[in-house]
Amino acid sequence: MAEQKTVVVTGGTRGIGKGLARELLKRGHNTVICGRTQEAVNAAISDISGDAIDGARAAGIACDVTNHDQVQALWGFSKQEFRDVDIWINNAGMSNTRFPIGHLTQDDVEAIPAVNLVGSMNGSQVALQGMNAQGHGALYNFEGFGSNGMKQMGMSLYGCTKFGLTYFTKALIKETKGGPVIVGYMSPGIVITDLSLRDRGKMPPEQWAFVKKVYNIIADRVETVTPWLVDHVLANTEHGARIAWLTRGKSLKRFLMSRFKPPGNRFPELDEVDEKAAA
């Protein structure tokens, strides 16, 4: 196998983050994850550790990414466990319920920018300082809906954080050009996770029907997307690279194909959500 690396994945206890950690272990690379509680971290490590090969190991601690001191502690923990950190992925993020801004709670208004923007800024600052000191490394920030300026009902708060994060990452790429650290983007597209399904009971039926239709055309599963992302991150040597699973061309092709051949229900769990709601 290639040289064993150590990769930090923030928000690695569920969804895409956990999927990335699992795929890294499958390729023989050490992985450090974090989550809101140590219980969640321990449960995720227990679940994914059986996939490790070639002596790779998973470790992790509880970390609130909005707290700079805790992010710094995550870096220190990673260095203590595995010596160097080769790749840092700012995956931790959260989304609001798909309501217009006037219908969201103040907790949403404060928490989502804090996690998505401040959390990634904290992770970027800590990782860049540490990687510059060790003389090498790669840092990736996660794009999401809104990164390209696209707008959709109920996504104003989440979308603006991703738009801002893309600007921030572009600035980092310029600031770090010529240095020892690679900086880039990761873009998974639309992935079905427990977070993407949580809004079903809060949406009007017609809105959920639209969301479900879109999911069936362009959404993918964690186990489909994360292997591809991991392989491309591990192989990348380009500063400023955008590692994107769902490109504009791929999206347009899927929508075009759906006009001639309906995609059907690609995600049975969406029907399960509807059945529970109707019960």
278 occurs within a structural domain: no
Please, which contacts does 213-217 make with residues 24 or more away whose CB atoms are closer than 8 Å? 214/190, 215/190, 215/266, 215/267, 215/270, 216/263, 216/264, 216/265, 216/266, 216/267, 216/270, 217/254, 217/255, 217/258, 217/263
| Residue 210 included in any domain | no
Q: Are 244 and 35 in contact (CB under 8 A)?
A: no
Report pTM.
Answer: 0.89
The Cα–Cα gap between 222 and 11 comes to: 14
The CATH number given to whatever domain includes residue 187 is 3.40.50.720
Residue 263 resides in a domain? no
Alpha-carbon gap, residue 115 to 122, rounded angstroms: 10
Residue 238 structural domain: 6-192+220-246
Q: Could you give the CA distance from residue 61 to residue 195 in angstroms, rounded to a whole number?
A: 22
Q: Is residue 251, in this structure, part of any structural domain at all?
A: no
Domain count, the chain: 1
In a domain, 104, yes or no: yes
The reply to whether 202 falls in a domain is: no
Q: What is the pLDDT along the chain (279 residues), one digit of tens a residue?
A: 579 999 999 999 999 999 999 999 999 999 999 999 999 999 999 999 999 999 999 999 999 999 999 999 999 999 999 989 999 999 999 887 777 888 888 888 899 999 999 999 999 999 999 999 999 999 999 998 767 767 777 778 888 899 999 999 999 999 999 999 999 999 998 888 776 666 666 666 777 777 777 777 778 889 999 999 999 999 999 999 999 987 777 777 877 777 787 777 766 766 665 555 555
Tokens representing 173 are 């790429």
> Looking at the domain assignment, is residue 167 inside a domain?
yes
Q: Has residue 142 been placed in a domain?
A: yes
